[in-house]
Amino acid sequence: MPTNPPEKPDVLSAEFAQDPHKYYKIMRDHYPVLHDEASGYYFVARYNDVARIYKDSVAFSNENYAFQMEPVIGKTLIQMSGREHAVNRHLVTPALRGNYLQELLPQVDELAREMIDEFRHSGRTDLIENFTKWFPINVIVKMLDLPHEDLPKFHDWYSSLMAFLANLTNDPEVHAWGMRTQRDYPAYILPIIAERRKNPGTDLISRLTQAEIEGEQFSDEQIKALIGLLLIAGGETTDKAIASTLKYLIQHPEQLAAVRANPALATQALVETLRYHPPVQIILRTATEDIDVSGTVIPKGSVVACVNGAANRDERRFNDPDKFDIFREDVNMNQAFVGSADHIAFALGRHFCVGSLLAKREAETAINQLLQAMPDIRFADGKEPVDAGMFTRGPERLDVEFTPVTQ
């Protein structure tokens, strides 16, 4: 005898925010394309559907970034298509995947050591407030050769941009915060870009002012927007990826012990986290035509929310998907950081995250150095961390205890 399907989840409810994976399964099984009346968005939950949307840049465009990000930082690479996207991606790729990245790596290692030295003898710390929240921004600031004392500004700007991007309910305070960034961020960064163009050094801003392809160079406005994108894509998301990986390793002591014994497994731990609980839970696209997805016709012009967090736990694609397993065999480690990845955390296809290799290296460094500094790391007071966030998600705090290593 057929049973009635569960009630359609309310994606904007407090219950959904508290435990989205509970509702992701209901969506996959009963509402693979869920239309949310409040936002007007179509939430897509199954792996094959989400992968199809990312790979089909004709039927599903990035036009949504015109209202998600452009009002705050300008038009960025992830909003572009066609030749404009190809040229801009080609200009920036060498800085994030080429020799410059290799030159940067020793500095990434040193930054991690310096930050960990601040608390390695304390026996207790909140790893988010004292490490993961600031480590990726520190790396970006080093890349851009900007003043370290301005870190709080950068954090405020990328936090406002992230909130603006995820503002489904059009909260006026979030909008006002974004508009302050629209004013303050260009006033800060444009004079720096202009000066580096006149007197270039070896930093990323200088390299971007000199980059050229087919006679085209980045304008100051384009570099401003790109740096803004770098702040959001390289800041909060890497922060949450590192924090979540540490959280799940602590929850799985055998796997934590394996990573500690073989530091090369830190990469597998990161990749499994990207699948199990991606830092970017939702990425938007726009339907350019009326199109059928799993039996639901999404009208032309509609905003489509690709739910990475749901797709990555799809039983149709992964074995035992609700199990955190760094040794799983249905994710190819060799392609985990390119556009043909098995997991969906950086999107897929031509808009796959260009900074994925930088994020990978930051996370490997952070995980291995933290585990070395804290051999018996554990949650403080027996309390496990609580996740928060809708578009991006990760632990709010990561309070840990450990026995200080004497040297």
What is the chain's alpha carbon radius of gyration, rounded to the nearest angstrom?
Answer: 21
Average pLDDT rounded to a whole number, residues 217-234: 81
CB atoms within 10 A of CB 227: 24
Residue 407 has pLDDT above 60, yes or no: no
Strands 42-44 and 303-307 turn out to be parallel
Amino acid making up residue 44: V
Average pLDDT rounded to a whole number, residues 315-338: 90
Of 363, 389, 396, 340, which Cα lies nearest the Cα of 273? 363
CA-based torsion, 220, 194, 137, 168: positive or negative: negative
- Say which range, 148-157, 158-167, 229-238, has the weakest mean pLDDT: 229-238
pLDDT band per the 50, 70, 90 thresholds, residue 348? low
Q: How far apart are CA 86 and CA 240, in angstroms?
A: 29
- Residue for token digits 């990035």? 62
Give the predicted TM-score (pTM) of the model: 0.90
Q: How far apart are CA 349 and CA 58, in angstroms?
A: 12
Per-residue pLDDT of 87-136, as tens digits, reads: 666 666 666 666 667 777 888 899 999 999 999 999 999 999 999 999 98
Tokens matching residue 258: 């394996």
Q: What is the DSSP letter of 148?
A: G
Of 363, 334, 349, 360, which Cα lies nearest the Cα of 97? 360
Q: How far apart are CA 66 and CA 89, in angstroms?
A: 18
Q: Domains plus CATH for the chain? A: 14-401 (1.10.630.10)
166, 391 Cβ separation under 8 angstroms: yes
Quote the distance between the C-alpha of residue 216 and its chain's center. 29
